[in-house]
Amino acid sequence: MKFIDLLRTAIGNTFRSKARTVLTVIAIFIGAFTLTLTSGIGTGVNDYIDKTVAAFGNDNALFVQKVSEQSTPGSNEGDGPTEYNPDEADVRLGFGSVSGLTDSDIDKIEKIDGVGSVDPMYLVTPKYLESASGKKFKLSLGSPPEADGLQLESGKAPERAKDEILLPASWVEPLGLGSNQDAVGKSVKIAIGNAMDQERTFTAKVSGVSQASLAGPSDNPIPSAGLNKKLYDYQVSGSPKKVPNSYFTATATVDDMSKVGAIKSELSDEHMQGRTVEDQLGMFRAVINGIVWILNSFAIIALLAAGFGIVNTLLMSVQERTREIGLMKALGMSGGKVFGLFSLEAIFIGFLGSAIGAAVAVAAGSILSGVLSNGLLSSLPGLSLFLFNPVNIAAIILSVMFIAFLAGTIPAMRAARQDPITALRYE
Amino acid sequence: MAAPVLETENLVKIYGRGDTRFDALKGINLEIGKGESVAVVGKSGSGKSTLMHLLALLDGPTHGVVALEGRPTGDLSAKELNELRNSAFGFVFQQFFLTPNQSVLENVTLPLKIAGVPAAERKRRGLEALEQLEMADKADNKATDLSGGQKQRVVIARALINNPSVIFADEPTGNLDSATSKVVEDILFGLNRDKGITLVVVTHDEDLAQRCGRQIYLVDGEVVPNLPKSTSGVGGERGGQPGTRPASSTTGPLQVTEPTTGAIVTLSEADAAEIARAAQEPPRAGRHAAPSTTDQPGATA
């Protein structure tokens, strides 16, 4: 028997006892529907995280910080006071200071094999931001490299050399800038104090408006690198003594991501800690993936149950069609072909259930996504809760068909082994 | 006799072992020539069905040889046996074994489908075969919508479709009333006469057996020259009752409704009597596994 005839016969046979086929298909439908939806959530949320990762900066960026040498409980060198080191630079914060990276640290990072370039981050603590109408707002600034990955509502990222600033969407209205589009090109003032406690204002042009995101830094306005440097220079000016440069963090660009592990261990030898974007988001991602896999496993359990439905359906079918099988074997059909016929029936049932299930899940998920992002999840623009990836859906359909095939092997083997003489015996 | 199409040499078939050992065939030697019509006659348990299964290559012998057109078949692979059955043999069974939800044409072309013949050619040859049996107008009907005689014609069309050299007919008229039986018999013997198809009929019906060119009588797995008179025909199959059907029924056929399909089926008196009896009697277990003692009257040849 040719494959096409075998397939046609199998499909025809599937519809012979419609009620039974429909019930089995429904069982598979439920499993495939759930699996498609949960995988849609996985794809949707992970896609959102990926966008957020982009908001944190480049994938190959390593964020380096000084590890404080202050005593930490349980550490070997820790007990007792730490000796004063005049070369160690502290970054002064409002509530104290933390150990910062010094210029020699930056040199050390640059020399590590695999590191391309190092950009120190200037910790700028402006006093306030003043809107055109004269209203003042508390201000903490984001770091310039973060601007590259942000999803923008309007405008563009600040240009390095210009005095520009990127505002979060939530700032536009309080500042009285009108719509997101209107805000672009308007000016705001940033006031900052120096070591002498003098105050100066810098004017910055709004280059664009960024979307809010779940885990990004974009809740803060982000100045251009140039503006940031200007602010920093003013901030450290006026001191009677030259203050050694110190940086809260530096961004190292890694040329070869496979060397990240080695770079991190070298950094930790130098009392520095390097974290990639993935490290920073790893926990978050792990939780989401965990939830998705729990949901997936429910769907897989449903599919396994449906698999037994297929076994049952086909066993009944084999029972009913004993004589037909016997006749086909008597007329020269090989056991292998009989096995193929029943396997194809199982696979077709699996295909029906999974294809319909996936299609309905995609439709339902897309509608639900649309409703949610205009309602419950409207505070998280850019998040579509269900995102359907054709490769995943194809994989789901194929694996359900494979489960169906496995389920079909028991009845198909029984059919293939049937002895034509016994089957044709007329009782 | 023409060149033998089927030959057997010392054919032995034993089922089971030890206490349950049953010698179904005890060394059968026979030759069936090309174009012959042969009746294998015997009671239930005489081994006639076993013999047919071995001749039709549906089963292998315990010992001995079945040769098809001079070629021993013992060392053929399962695949070769399948192909041989598909191309060389046609089967007509007492039960029709038609696939209920398929059309008459699909049922008839099943052997071609199994052989891998393309759909267009299947249809052409299927219609040709149905034409021969005057059933072409029913080609698109569902197989279940036919009367018993029509079904058996479809079965014959199916047996014919691959131009077989041998048609095996196992109680071909067992389910038909006498008038329809005669039509079906005429068709089978017509094919034998006009197309030279070898006909092997397995039956306990002496009338049908007598229409064949030659009779092979089987008693307890052995060929005997003739059945002993004391058995009063060969009606053992139907519970000891003389099962020979009157050649022409005087009371006319009895019509009943077939439960599965709702089709009206015409029955002979003998069949009607059997149905009535079957309704009263508990089913007899293991009828084919071993001959019951009542089925062996005077087996001595």
On whether both A177 and A201 belong to a single domain, the answer is yes
Q: Are residues A46 and A65 in the same domain?
A: no
Nearest chain A alpha carbon to B164: A331
pLDDT at residue A420 greater than cutoff 90: no
Q: Residue B238: what pLDDT?
A: 41
Task: Judge if A207 and A288 occupy the same domain.
Answer: no
Of B24, B25, B28, the residue nearest B9 (C-alpha): B28
Task: For residue B101, give the nearest of A2, A16, A328 by CB distance.
Answer: A16
Residues of B in contact with A333 (CB under 8 A): 82, 86, 114
CA separation for the pair B158, B109 (Å, rounded) = 6
Of A323, A334, A424, the CB nearest to B82: A334
Mutate to test the interface with B, among A17, A323, A327, A328 (most CBs of B within 10 A): A327
Contact A331 B111 (CB under 8 A): yes
Both A259 and A289 in one domain: the answer is no
Candidates B78, B116, B288; nearest CB to A2: B116
In a domain, B293, yes or no: no
Would you place residue A246 in the very low, low, confident or very high pLDDT band (cuts 50, 70, 90)? Answer: confident
CA distance, residue A352 to nearest chain B CA (Å): 21
**Is the same domain home to A364 and A270?**
no
Tokens of B241: 């009752």
Grade residue B242 by pLDDT with cuts at 50, 70 and 90: very low
Which chain B residue has the Cα nearest residue A338? Answer: B114
Q: What percent of chain A shows pLDDT beyond 90?
A: 17
| Residue A319 Cα, gap to closest chain B Cα (Å) | 14
Same domain assignment for residues A107 and A157: yes
A402 has a pLDDT exceeding 90: yes
Residues A288 and A356 in one domain: yes
Q: Which of B97, B161, B202 to mutate to test the interface with A (most CBs of A within 10 A)?
A: B97
Residue closest to A352 by CA, chosen among A5, A6, A23: A23
Instruction: Give the ipTM.
Output: 0.72
Do A27 and A309 form a contact (C-beta atoms < 8 A)? Answer: yes
Average pLDDT score over residue span A150-179: 83
Q: Do B113 and A9 touch (CB under 8 A)?
A: yes
Specify the DSSP element, H or E, that contains A31: helix A18-56
Q: How many domains does chain A have?
A: 2
| Residue in B58, B99, B111 closest to A420 by CB | B58
Q: B53–A333: do the CB atoms touch at under 8 Å?
A: no
Q: What share of chain B is helix, strand, coil (3-state, %, to 5)?
A: 35, 25, 40
Does residue A6 register a pLDDT over 70?
A: yes
Q: Is the pLDDT of residue A289 over 90?
A: no
**Average pLDDT value for chain B:** 78
Angle, CA of A110, A112 and A113, to the nearest 5°: 120
Task: Assess whether A51 and A65 both reside in one domain.
Answer: no
Portion of chain B with pLDDT greater than 70, in percent: 74
Chain B residues with beta carbon closer than 8 angstroms to that of A328: 110, 114
Q: Which residues of A touch B91 (CB under 8 A)?
A: 327, 330-331
Give the best residue of A331, A333, A424 to mutate against chain B (max B CB count within 10 A).
A331
Q: Which CATH number covers residue B234?
A: 3.40.50.300
The closest of B299, B178, B292 to B239, measured between CA atoms, is B292
Domain for residue B285, yes or no? no
Q: Which of B86, B95, B119 sits opposite A331 (nearest CB)?
A: B86
- SS3 at position B66: strand
Q: Which amino acid is at A205?
A: K
Helix, strand or coil, per DSSP, at residue B283: coil
| Domains held by chain B: number | 1
Q: What is the pLDDT of residue B292?
A: 42
Top-confidence range, A328-337, B40-49, B132-141, B236-245: A328-337
Contact A332 B94 (CB under 8 A): no
Q: Does residue B54 lie in a domain region?
A: yes
Instruction: State the Cα–Cα distance between residues A104 and A123, nearest whole angstrom.
Output: 18
Helix or strand holding residue A421 (H, E):
helix A420-424
pLDDT of residue A53: 63
Render pLDDT for A13-48 as a digit per residue (tens, 0 to 9). 888 888 889 999 999 999 999 999 988 888 888 888
Q: With a cut of 50, say whether residue A140 has pLDDT above it.
A: yes
Rounded to whole angstroms, the Cα distance separating B25 from B10 reads 9
For the segment A64-99, what is each residue's pLDDT rounded down to a tens digit?
Answer: 888 765 544 444 544 567 677 666 656 555 455 567
| pLDDT band with cut points at 50, 70 and 90 for residue B277 | low
Residue of B55, B58, B274 best to disrupt the A interface, most CBs of A under 10 A: B58
Interatomic CA distance for residues A366 and A37, integer angstroms = 10
Claim to verify: residue A197 and residue A317 sit in the same structural domain? no
Closest chain A residue by Cα to residue B102: A12
Measure the CA–CA gap between B207 and B210, rounded to whole angstroms. Answer: 5
Residue range B64-111, pLDDT digits in tens: 999 988 888 888 888 888 998 999 999 988 788 888 888 999 999 999
Q: Whole domain around residue B98: which residue ranges?
A: 4-242+250-280
Please report whether residue B153 resides in a domain.
Answer: yes
Helix (H, G, I), strand (E, B) or coil at B7: strand
What single-letter DSSP state applies at residue A158? P
pLDDT tens profile A327-369: 899 999 999 999 999 999 999 999 999 999 999 999 999 998 8
Distance CA A406, CA A116 (A): 52
pLDDT at position A404? 92
Same domain, A306 and A173: no
What is the extent of the structural domain holding A243? 60-276
Q: Which residues pair with B49 in a beta bridge?
A: none
Say yes or no: A221 and A121 in one domain.
Answer: yes
Q: How far apart are CA A424 and CA B85, in angstroms?
A: 15
Closest Cα to residue A39, out of A339, A361, A356?
Answer: A361
Instruction: Say whether A332 and B83 touch across the interface (CB within 8 A).
Output: yes
CB contact under 8 Å between A332 and B114, yes or no, is yes
Rounded Cα distance between B130 and B159, Å, is: 11
Report the gap between the CA of B90 and the closest CA in chain A (Å).
8
Same domain, yes or no: A272 and A295: no
| Residue bearing the bigger pLDDT, A6 or A145 | A6
Assess if residue B223 is contained within a domain: yes
Query: How many Å lie between the alpha carbon of B173 and the closest alpha carbon of chain A?
Result: 14
Interval A276-290 mean pLDDT: 77
Q: Of A259, A276, A293, which closes a domain? A: A276
Phi, psi at B167, each rounded to 5°: -110, 125
* Confidence grade of residue A112 (pLDDT, cut at 50, 70, 90): confident
Contact A5 B85 (CB under 8 A): no
Mean pLDDT across the stretch A231-254?
78
What Cα–Cα distance (Å) separates residue A141 from each residue in A162, B16, B137, B221? 16, 92, 88, 103
Q: What is the DSSP string of A325-337?
A: HHHHHHTT--HHH
